[in-house]
Amino acid sequence: MKKHIPNLFTLGNLFCGIIATIFAVNSNFRFAALFVVCGIFLDFLDGFLARLLKVSGELGKQLDSLADMVTSGVVPGIVMFKLMELNLYNEPGIDYLYKLSSFFHLHLIGLVLTLGACYRLAKFNLDTRQSDSFIGLPTPAMCLFVISLPIILENADNNLDLVNDLVGNNYFLIIITLALTYLMNAEIPLFSLKFKDYSLKNNFIIYLFLISCIILVFSLYYISIPIIIIIYIILSIIQNLTPKIK
């Protein structure tokens, strides 16, 4: 029975992803985000328990990717699709380009995120280099970035016109979609939050990142999420360049 305990948490992740998908299809982005966060938390727990109980195996690895495909693959694709669709029909004076976008259903580009996540997860299962770090942006990080966008748009006040203009612009969202899809599959080493020890010398980047996260979350709330993902990528690149600089 012990070996199946982590798998139950993985199935819990999948269940949360299914519920989040239903909410995303109905443009209920808040509840979709809530279940995605729960799913990602369960995804963390299943790996933690597998290591704690020493029951890691091929079944759990495959099951984990299949669950992630729904929670961190299908859901963000649908959220981006629905967000771009809503932007089209909420635009007060739809210009010619927006009419053209609607006619050709260009908001389907949002689903490219799902395709990119699927490709990344398949590569991850075959890549032996990603035991202690990541190659390319992890799908949960991409998912958190995407699901934060409609919530930011809903909560942006009048002092954040730039945020409203960006998130409410489909051309910007298409750029974000393509950029995230590329980053998920790019050969860019990114650090993980696994500690081999807790020394400052060996974990300076991780501690810096965690402190930045705390400060940003308490100061910027929802807007902090995409900023945190961007900082994560930048710090990883700096870490990769540091040995070369020395």
Q: Map tokens 């710090």 to a residue.
A: 235
Task: Report the pLDDT value the prediction gives residue 14, as an integer from 0 to 100.
Answer: 96
Over residues 26-71, the pLDDT tens digits come to 999 999 999 999 999 999 888 888 878 877 777 888 899 999 999 9
Over residues 199-231, the pLDDT tens digits come to 777 788 889 999 999 999 999 888 899 999 999
Alpha helix locations (H) across the chain? 5-25, 29-53, 58-69, 75-90, 96-103, 112-126, 139-155, 161-167, 170-185, 204-220, 224-245
Over residues 79-104, the pLDDT tens digits come to 999 998 888 776 655 555 555 565 55
Q: Provide the CATH number for the domain formed by 2-187 in this structure.
A: 1.20.120
Task: Report the pLDDT value the prediction gives residue 170, as an integer from 0 to 100.
Answer: 87
What pTM was computed for the model? 0.87
Domain boundaries, the chain: 2-187, 190-246
